Amino acid sequence: MNDTQIIDTYITKLFNSGGKNRKQFALKEHEVKRIVLEARQIFLSQPMLLELHAPIKICGDIHGQFHDLLRLFDEGGFPPLSNYLFLGDFVDRGKMGLEVVCLLFCYKIKYPDNFFLLRGNHECFTINQVYGFYHECLKKYSVNVWKIFCDCFQCLPLSAIIDDKIFCVHGGLSPELDDIDRIKKIARPTEVDDDGLLCDLLWSDPSETFYGWHENLRGVSYTFGADIVEEFCDEMNLDLICRAHQVVDDGFEFFANQRLVTIFSASNYCGEFDNCGAMMNVSEELDCDFSILKPKKETVSFFSTNLPPTPPKNRYNKNKRNKNRYNNNRPFGAAVTSVAISVTQRTFDYDIETSKIPNDYLRLGTEKFLYIGDALCDSILGFLGRDRKKSRTK
């Protein structure tokens, strides 16, 4: 088999796992190592600051919730039907971080110029050693697998700019980010220090309470006010900052007069927040809408630690919902700036096994899957509860 066929085989195995957490992982250790090493080479071959183009779909934290990842692909179109950008935090908390990161890496290898991953604060050995990924690697493989993942995580890009107008990062801004080109100069592989530009990009948060820069209650990095966001966007000629890093009730939430949006894609995070997940769909014209992933009712297992999960926004007023959810000083859906980013939302609450996708999507999707191999096509459609022959006749 050639390299593409081998990657297809790995993807098929991940789908054949049925989306269920198992002690015996779908891939063998040498297969996982091959995936990680190939992905690492691709990450290093591409810049630290990715320059991307719309249309593209942007996803926030996944945190080992493999089933949510598949639901997002089912809604947005499995690669290469759509271009994707993930904002980091693939692992920890959820018990299927290996499935999540291996599938993401496989798609990165297969479609390096259409599928993009940024580093999150959990793609760091000091964090994922404590929050679950280390123990997951030990349970399913060995400490060596965890080490090669951590080495690969140190090579992930930190940020992306879409058509020079949308700045994407996991955490937020930094007082040291006076020029976006500074990100390009960060050498890789690199670990995350306790402070500085790299730390801030992965850890900082917007604040609805304070203006300017302020101490972050996480104990790491800063919070920044709406004034910082608008000043940064104006100076860099940006229309929108897109980040993840915090749980938000609806899966997405605007800040600073719609100049910043937080996206979180893991629904019912840690089985206790009952939050929606979301995916931002950016059209070629830079219009944005959101696919909302409703939380599933079934119980999902998570790694148990004595440490708190990723804190939600407004966590100190969680019993008082913000009536002005999107910080709108203008009508919801109005243009942000000259690029006219419009905002609508659509909700999907189906299970991936029983979802009903429009027939034209099925036909298009089937043709794409057939192109990359009958076995992979059958595996994906089977996971979705469909028959390939029947799908072709619809």
Among candidate residues 30, 53, 63, 122, the one labeled active-site is 122
End-to-end Cα, the chain, rounded Å: 32
311 cis-preceded (ω within 30 degrees of 0)? no
Given CA atoms 36, 192, 301, 311 in this order, what sign does their dihedral have?
negative
Report whether 230 contacts 224 (CB < 8 A): no
Q: What are the angstrom distances between the C-alpha of 94 and each of 62, 288, 305, 342, 349?
A: 8, 29, 12, 33, 20
Residue type, 371: Y
30 in catalytic set? no
Please tell me the chain's helix, strand, coil percentages from 3-state DSSP, rounded to the nearest 5.
Answer: 35, 15, 50
Helices (H), ranges, the chain: 3-16, 29-45, 66-76, 97-110, 125-128, 133-140, 143-153, 197-203, 226-236, 359-372, 374-383, 388-393
Long-range contacts of 333-342 (CB under 8 A, 24+ apart): 334/258, 336/239, 336/240, 336/258, 336/259, 337/233, 337/239, 338/239, 339/165, 339/239, 339/286, 340/285, 340/286, 340/287, 341/239, 341/240, 341/258, 341/286, 341/287, 341/288, 342/287, 342/288, 342/289
Residue 9: CB atoms within 10 A of its CB come to 18
Residue 232: CB atoms within 10 A of its CB come to 22
Element (H, E) at 224: strand 222-224
Report whether 186 contacts 158 (CB < 8 A): yes
Strand order in the sheet with 260-263: 49-52, 159-162, 166-169, 240-243, 260-263, 252-255
Max alpha carbon distance in the chain (Å)?
A: 59
Report whether 369 contacts 381 (CB < 8 A): yes
> Mind telling me the catalytic residues?
122
